Amino acid sequence: MPAETNESTVRAYVKPQALELGFYASMKRLWRRISEPIIELCIRLSGLVVVIFVFLIFLFLLRDSLSLFRHYPLGQFLFGRKWLPISEPPQFGVIPLLLGSVLVTFWALVICVPLGVGSAMFIAEVAPKALKNVLKSFIEILAAIPSVVLGFLGIIWLGPVLRDTFHLSTGMCGLTGSLLLAFMALPTIISISEDALTGVPRSYREAAFGLGATQWQTLWRVILPSASSGIVAAVMLGIGRVVGETMVVLMVTGNAPVIPTSILQPVRTLTATIAGEMGETVGGSEHYYALFAVGLVLFAITFTVNFIADLFLRRARR
């Protein structure tokens, strides 16, 4: 069909004409000139929105917790040794809850830091590549286990086992919580420490081997110290995870608001208190505000920990 071919050749001929091309190009340039600032603005806005949200959450927490101190003295809240929210008159002493959280977190760290950093060292430096990939995916799966499921395991299996092992009067104690929390913090600690270890420049390793160091000496004296800021950051993020975890501790630690003297005792944490009692408070009551104040204490802790982690991460990047 010669006529059609003709037409298309004609069109093809006309298309690359300077005039038309110039029009498209200028449109494109115009679009780019308009769209680029819009996209930039969107990105900037979404960044800002996050900051604003955090700030608003903080303001909200602050406003509602400060309402407590209109009725209840701040000193008694911060230094009170009794948490009796439904007694007459109620007592909102945060000390037993705070110590409960601190104790459970401390022991969780004692368990998970050596384990986590150790496995990170193995994965980053020692394990052959195939094993490394398998281990890494298993650790990711570990992170995906929901905390209620761990809580169930704690009630049904871990608690009774610990009770029989340590001859305790009950398996619902701080240690059960610490062990499960350690388990939950492991993936965070392992993957971030592993990143930090892998990030140590190759030249360090080569230099150490060149000086005749063994693999262990290189790992322990050269690579670990150079990755230390990253590892500290990993531990800090792990702490953040453990302090903020709610479901597991609510389910397995027994929730007795005592001032704990041993990890083998039942404890009540800040998070479990909020989760356990929030449902029954009436908006605007003293108890309601007290739980917000507990939330503020928790926020202050996690904020400080994450802030320190951030400082170390920044140093690690340099």
Partner 1 sequence: MSMCCVRQARCLRFPIVGLRSQAILASVLGVFLGGCGESIDPNEPQGFIQAKGSDTMVNAVQMVAEVFMKDYPHVFVAVTGGGSGVGIASLINKTCDVATASREMKAKEIEIANQHGVYPREFTVAYDGVAVIVNKNNPVNRLTIDDLHKIFTGEATNWKQFGGKDLHIVTLSREVSSGTHMYFKEEVIHLGKKDNKDEFSKETLLLTSSQAIVEEAAGNEEAIGYLGMGYLSDRTKALQIARDKEFYPPTVENVLKKTYPLSRGLYAYTDGEPEGIVKTFIDFTLSPAGQKQFTDAGFVPVQTSPPEVTPQSSPGGTVAR
What single-letter DSSP state applies at residue 264? T
What's the 3-state SS for 86-102?
A: CCCCCEECCHHHHHHHH
Residues at the site binding partner 1, with contacts judged by CB under 8 A: 84-88, 146, 148-149, 151-152, 155-156, 160, 163, 169-172, 247, 250-251, 254-258, 266, 268, 275-277, 279-283, 285
Q: Among 294, 301, 264, 249, which residue's Cα sits nearest to residue 80?
A: 294
Gyration radius of the chain over CA positions? 29
d(Cα 141, Cα 139) in Å, to the nearest integer?
Answer: 5
CA 259 vs. chain centroid, Å, equals: 27
The least CB distance from residue 85 to partner 1, in Å, is: 6
The least CB distance from residue 23 to partner 1, in Å, is: 46
Nearer to partner 1, 85 or 116 (CB): 85
The least CB distance from residue 163 to partner 1, in Å, is: 7
Please say whether the beta carbons of 105 and 302 come within 8 A. Answer: no
Please say whether the beta carbons of 192 and 237 come within 8 A. Answer: yes
The least CB distance from residue 298 to partner 1, in Å, is: 18
